[in-house]
Amino acid sequence: MIVLLVAPLLLPWLLPPLARRVSERVRPDIALWAVTAGAAVLALGVIACLGALLLPLALRLPALADLAHLLHPLQAGPAALVLCVSTLAGGALAVSTTAAARGAKAELVRLRAARDLVAGLPEAGGLCVLDDERPDAFALPGRKLRTGRIVVTAGMLRALDPGEREALLGHERAHLAGRHHLFLAAAQLAGWCHPALASVTPAATFAAERAADEAAALACGDRRLAARAIGRAALATTARRSALQVPAVAARGTTGPVPARVKALFAQAPARRTAPALLAIALLCGAAGASSLGGAVWLHRGVEVAQGEHPSD
């Protein structure tokens, strides 16, 4: 039955190809929700299962066994196998926790630096202009859930014509309005929990950028103008790379596979349709949840037996 707790550790490897298909074929806002939710659910399953797999080893310690009121040793399978699996789970949990702590700390440092960069600058309608010749523009989330700023450099404003500027600013407004920083943060955190889920982050980023592209095209009423703004902004950024320290959650209009985004904007508006991969993600999350629950029930039964509450089978 220990396989029920191992399966959720393997299922995340199936998500990256599904996430890519969903981000390419499903309406962007739906794709963003599906990809991020799938990564978050699978990451929670991974952490829960690692903790559960570590439990048999932890309850071998006399102090923890007494704390759990165990009368007999916890029997979770062949002793050698349980010891090996629990040790590996403990190591994996330590690696994931360390990676998440370091990544979160680095992201907070970059976020604080970006906020310090615009602190005290005048703003109009949430727009801040940096006196910097390097082209750049990003949506900087605020300290509160509903606050944020659009930060654009003077170099970026000079690289675009008035219509393109408005389209780019509409793109960044869409990031703030859609709270895309929360989706990007969730995808990034999931990636720190499991190496396979780290490959899902680009799909989540692409979906967020495509959602903002569509919102900008709708706001300016011209899909070709929005495509031209995104393309020219990306070219300007590439020609003169900005050195601004921007956190990953501060979505940039020039990130992601820009040619694919421009091609999508030149096409018709995305249809309201689903894809088989969307259903596959739902089934994948359901399988991970069912396997985790089954393993937890089995482990709980073993603890009750060890506590003398039920006779062993």
Give CA–CA dist 186/206, Å, rounded.
15
Q: Which amino acid is present at 90?
A: G
Q: How far is CA 254 from CA 54, 80, 147, 204, 227, in A?
A: 43, 52, 22, 15, 11
Residue (of 287, 273, 285) closest to 31 by Cα position? 273
244 vs 242: which has the higher pLDDT: 244
Residue 130 has pLDDT above 60, yes or no: yes
Give CA–CA dist 271/251, Å, rounded.
24
Strand partners, 139: 150
Average pLDDT over all residues of the chain:
83
Q: How far is CA 305 from CA 64, 70, 74, 79, 300, in A?
A: 16, 9, 8, 16, 9
User: How would you list the strands of the sheet with 123-124, edge to edge?
Assistant: 123-124, 127-130, 148-153, 137-141
pLDDT for 24: 87
- Quick check: helix, strand or coil at residue 14? helix
pLDDT for 224: 92
Q: Is 134 left (phi over 0), alpha (psi -120 to 50) or beta?
A: beta
Residue (of 122, 129, 125) closest to 153 by Cα position? 129
pLDDT for 272: 57
pLDDT for 303: 61
- Highest mean pLDDT out of 54-63, 142-151, 226-235: 226-235
For 184-194, the pLDDT digits (tens) are 999 999 999 99
